[in-house]
Amino acid sequence: MMHIVAVQIHVKPEFIEAFKQVTLLNAQASLQEAGILQFDFLQQQDDPGRFLLYEVYRESNDQLKHRETGHYLAWKEQVESMLVEPRLGVKYFNVYPPDSAWER
């Protein structure tokens, strides 16, 4: 069953550009993982210090594998001091489109 996570991130103003740079690298590397179908990196329009990562995994175990990759661990270490508050990840089940539509 598909595993979808929306991660809300609040970044200190002085770190916005640095956060964008390291998170872009993480997003690009994440898309190379077999278990990740989508990895979107979004910035809020009316509050540029707020970001959303929208991650679609084939199954929940793929998120666990992602958290063991070198690029994720490096990203996590780099951004920790840039955050206003801890990241908030909310997990979702896919409703529509059907899981088969996510294949790449």
What does the H/E/C string look like for the chain?
CCEEEEEEEEECHHHHHHHHHHHHHHHHHHCCCCCEEEEEEEECCCCCCEEEEEEEECCHHHHHHHCCCHHHHHHHHHHHHHECCCCEEEEECCCCCCHHHHCC
Predicted confidence (pLDDT) per residue in 38-75, tens digit: 999 999 999 999 999 999 999 999 999 999 999 999 99
Answer yes or no: is 101 within a domain: no
The answer to whether position 100 is within a domain reads no
Q: Please calculate the CA angle 66-69-71 and round it to the nearest 5 degrees.
A: 110
Examine residue 55 and state whether it is found in any structural domain, yes or no.
yes
Query: For the domain that residue 25 is a member of, what is the CATH number?
Result: 3.30.70.100
User: What total number of domains does the chain contain?
Assistant: 1
The per-residue pLDDT for 76 is 97
Q: Is residue 61 part of a domain?
A: yes
- Classify residue 59: in a domain, yes or no: yes
Residue 67 included in any domain: yes
Q: How far is CA 73 from CA 44, 92, 94, in A?
A: 24, 23, 27
Question: What is the pLDDT averaged over residues 1-23?
Answer: 97
> What is the span of the domain harbouring residue 52?
3-94
pLDDT band, residue 1 (cuts 50/70/90): confident
pLDDT at residue 104 greater than cutoff 90:
no
> Does the global pTM surpass 0.75?
yes
